[in-house]
Amino acid sequence: MHCERKILVLVQSILLIKLYTMGNKLKYFIITITLILIILPFILLTDLFPFLRFGMFAEPITEEVQKEKFIVSYLINNKETEFNPKEAGIGESTFYYLARNYYYRKEANKFLEKTANSVTVNASEWRLKKIVLRDDKQLKTDTTIVARLSL
């Protein structure tokens, strides 16, 4: 009986040790998870949050400040007429994309030459105008003639 009692005490002490260590493991697990949840946003700040517009420390949404529009016009008898891209057999969006592209490559005069050669208009001068619209309002516009081609 004395031997059985020793075995029972030994089993109880082993169970108490396991419970105590399980309690410590649970406590350490909770502390670890808490620290991870506190530190994780600062780790993800440079990796993930910039891609989320409404994430932690996100900047407010700002609208586009200005829009650009390019217009080609020509002079016949000192009267200015806006060029219609369909006269050259090109879609409007494609034509204005090309105008913008040539403007930023600083080859606007080449663009005007190609445009003038693509139609049969007896114009004395071709112009490429850049119109800047601010805040989506037609009242605040800035028009600049960026290229001229005299024929």
Structure token pair of residue 93: 């969006």
**Which two three-digit tokens encode residue 120?**
């049969």
Tens digit of each residue's pLDDT (9 = 90 or more) over 59-94: 666 666 678 888 899 998 889 889 888 888 888 888
**Residue 20 pLDDT more than 80?**
no
Residue that is written with structure tokens 């016949």 in the block? 76
pTM equals: 0.54
* C-alpha dihedral, 44 to 48 to 53 to 54, nearest 10°: -40
- Please write the tens of the pLDDT for every residue from 118-144: 888 888 899 999 988 776 555 667 777
